Structure 1
């Protein structure tokens, strides 16, 4: 094992490999192998291209092209050339071995093409480009070490580089395995959670709050199971990490107070159903529709297109206006002033009729106009209307009602007064 830690070992290996390469390059059988490889690749390309084009056109005309069978075939089609090349190379290997001709280059090329096929096909089935790229790089690295017969020495070297931490032997090989196992299991858990979330969202018998709560509970459960299975598969006893629990508790007590508070507040909001996706709420200066409930925050989208991320703790500790908590009916008050010369009964009827002409104003309960006050410059009237869709905005319906009242007053000659002041200038004679 110590030889793998000696740089001279790798220098000697490279020198011998170079000498073998020079010897092979000057051999007649090597030239024959190279010619066979070139012919196999050209024949595979010539035969495969027309078939690939026809199969692509046939696949584009199918309804299931974006489903699993379609993705399977679409990932397989670009690799038809590689499959044919590997088959032709295997035939060449059988022919060469029959006449006792070396097949090192042909066999190496066939193994490389086989590895290429497996890697390309596997990554082609994965939609996430980042995961596909990571898998491709890892697989190519392992395949290269295997073909060069360096995989076993590399594994032994990585296992040799280790330290003891809390009675647990942690080697570089274990860390690499851990990263791979954790990544795969967490990805599988995340995919399973997404599929379950879509399934739960289709169950109409569950309220939005219960749907979010179930989704989060399933996600946490699957992630926890993935972590436990990963540790178990690596042969690590979880009891060895018991000492970390005290540090985590101290960290939560000091540095993670707000994070934990928001997490617990999110669970409380889901359990008491005071806030749910689709509600129209007002928190401080923020008014909008709840887009989603997160583990740490609530997403509120305003009519202006702004998306506020409000911490869950603020929804617990601050006063929140939920316009659609028990029902979606909202009453709006619109002030209107008329002059003292106005027929109040006629003006109030016009105001009510104007409100009834707006589509979003409800008929039951219907609009009501009341005399609010005798002001300094006008008689203050107040229109009270009800709407059932506050998520579509409040200011816009108030504006539409005011415009309708303005038009009705103009048509019937009713004046909307404004404050006036008379200024008297007294001249002082000497």
Structure 2
């Protein structure tokens, strides 16, 4: 290894006119071309169906992000050994190898971060800023390595200590601890995201069970990563007992609702009372379950509004699940016809009219019944069933009512109107009624009335 960047530059300048530098440049270009060719060939060979072999597909996608830089580094290392064995200069190859390693590291880290933190909303500004900062730090580290200043930087960080309690901790140990924790957490989150994606593609497992296994698996991986990173740094894990006691007190005093929501979320997922895609109603909320998280559940209403409902609401309130065991739902509409109509013919016409509506299922035929012989007419109810409650109820009710109205118009069936009795009084009858009301008023039945007409 060169002591400084000037030594490397001098070596390159000395070999500039010699065929050794041109040979190294040619070998480097050949290694890059071969790595690109082999990477493309491997991607074509290992292309598999997502549904048949999802594990291989996930691993291939993860590995293909760094496949070209990794193959380039491997070929350059082999070329360096061969060229050095021929007693040829290798200064240019020793310069290119760390550059390719840093490029592969950045591509891998960027892929893992976007795999873990990026959702359908796109890449956030903070993540883009972090990627730029990380890339700048990597290139600065490579520059320090090439210039020979890296050992000096390490020695400075190791000699600089900070007093923390009764102990003296160097800056190098602090940076190593931060890096180890960050790396283990990122790897744990990446493995959790891969596990979740794999589980969500298992059609043989219930969706709620897949979700709870994915959530518990990610939490377990994060816990193991934290404990492992702390052990690598040298922190005694027995100090976590104090933190565990404080956390228990905090849960008992101030975090009851949050803890209840988390526990309720796992209970809901384990007992499978709710699943993704179910149409449910709880309290004032009604909609389709689009996401079940550890603390809350998202319900998408028929108007497109998404409601974030804490999971403990589903445990403490009665929940109407319209698609728990089956998705069939009964709806009904009412009307009143006059007494003069032929009730049997009217019921038959109503059933036939509703059965032709598009969303009304024929698995259970519509049924029109006479519910009451009322004061104003014959009160009827038309019941029907649908198989897609997630598409809404008001629109199918509108279609059914329109079909019923067309039948009523076509067969001249009269809808009953509320009865109102009106009496026309003569002048003598009006006077007698007024005297009767005044008499009642004097008897104290209407003590507060003054003028009664």
Q: Is 1:64 equivalent to 2:47 in the alignment?
A: yes
CA contact (8 A) 2:28 2:93 kept: no
Report the count of equivalent residues: 398
Corresponding residue number in structure 1 for 2:194: 195
1:206 aligns with 2:189: no
TM-score by length of 1: 0.73
Query: Take 2:389 and 2:316, find their aligned partners in 1: how far apart are those partners?
Result: 24
CA distance in 1, matches of 2:43, 2:180: 37
User: Quick one: distance in 2 between partners of 1:156 and 1:346?
Assistant: 99
Deviation readout 1:40-83 (Å, 9 max, x if unpaired): 79868987999899889989987839966788678566899999
Aligned to 1:387: 386
Partner of 2:252: 253
Residue 97 (structure 2) aligned to one of 98, 105, 114: 114
Structure 1 residues 27-426: aligned runs within 5 Å: 32=14, 64=47, 107=91, 110-125=93-108, 127-128=111-112, 136-165=135-164, 170-373=169-372, 379-416=378-415
Residues 185 and 230 in structure 1, CA contact (< 8 A), matched pair in contact too: yes
Q: Are residues 136 and 328 of structure 1, via their aligned partners in 2, closer, same or farther at CA, if it must alter by over 3 Å?
A: same
User: What is the distance in 2 between the residues matched to 1:119 and 1:49?
Assistant: 15
* Cα shift at 1:309: 1.6
Paired residue secondary structure (2:302): coil
CA distance in 1 between partners of 2:44 and 2:131 (Å): 27
**8 Å contact kept, 1:330–1:387:** yes
Is contact 1:86-1:113 (8 Å) kept?
A: no
Q: 2:290 touches 2:300 (CA, 8 Å); kept in 1?
A: yes
**SS of match in other structure, 1:336:** strand
Structure 2 unaligned regions, length at least 5:
50-56, 115-126, 428-453
Cα distance change on mapping 1:412 and 1:155 into 2, 3 Å: same
- CA distance in structure 1 between the partners assigned to 2:131 and 2:254 by the alignment: 36
What's the CA shift string for 1:345-375, capped at 9, x where partnerless?
2222111112222343344543222223455
Q: Which moved more, 1:160-169 or 1:212-221?
A: 160-169
Q: Which is further off, 352-361 or 243-252?
A: 243-252
Conserved 8 A contact 2:39-2:67: no
**What secondary structure is seen at the aligned counterpart in 1 of 2:193?**
helix
Aligned with 1:295: secondary structure? coil
State whether residues 182 and 226 of structure 1, in contact with CA within 8 Å, keep that contact through their aligned partners in structure 2.
yes
- The normalised TM-score by structure 2 is 0.70
Contact 2:43 2:64 in 1 (8 A): no
Distance 1:92 1:112 in 2: 14
- 2:75 and 2:322 mapped to 1: Cα distance? 66
Residue 229 (structure 1) shift: 0.8
Q: How far apart, in 2, do the equivalents of 1:348 and 1:278 lie?
A: 36
Displacement of 1:264: 1.2
* CA distance 1:45–1:236, change in 2 (3 Å): closer
Whether contact under 8 Å (1:329, 1:386) holds in the other structure is yes
The answer on whether the counterparts of 1:361 and 1:386 sit within 8 Å (CA) in structure 2 is yes
Cα separation, 1, equivalents of 2:272 and 2:78: 63
Asked if the contact 2:281/2:320 (under 8 Å) is kept, the reply is: yes
Equivalent residues of 1:162, 1:171 under 8 A apart: yes
The question of whether the paired residues in 2 share the 8 Å contact of 1:277 and 1:290 is answered with: yes
Q: Deviations over 1:99-158 (max 9, x none)?
A: xxxx9xx94x65442221112233345524558656544432332222333323322333
Give the Cα separation in 1 of the matches to 2:133 and 2:310: 35
Stretch moving more, 276-285 or 128-137: 128-137
Change (3 A) 1:74 1:163: closer
Contact kept, 8 Å, 1:59 with 1:65, in 2: the verdict is no
- Which residue of the partner structure matches residue 451 of structure 2? none
Deviates more, 1:246-255 or 1:189-198: 246-255
Instruction: Indicate how the Cα distance of structure 1 residues 284 and 41 shifts in structure 2: closer, same or farther if over 3 A, else same.
Output: farther
Partner secondary structure for residue 148 of structure 2: coil
How many angstroms apart in 2 are the aligned matches of 1:112 and 1:199? 41
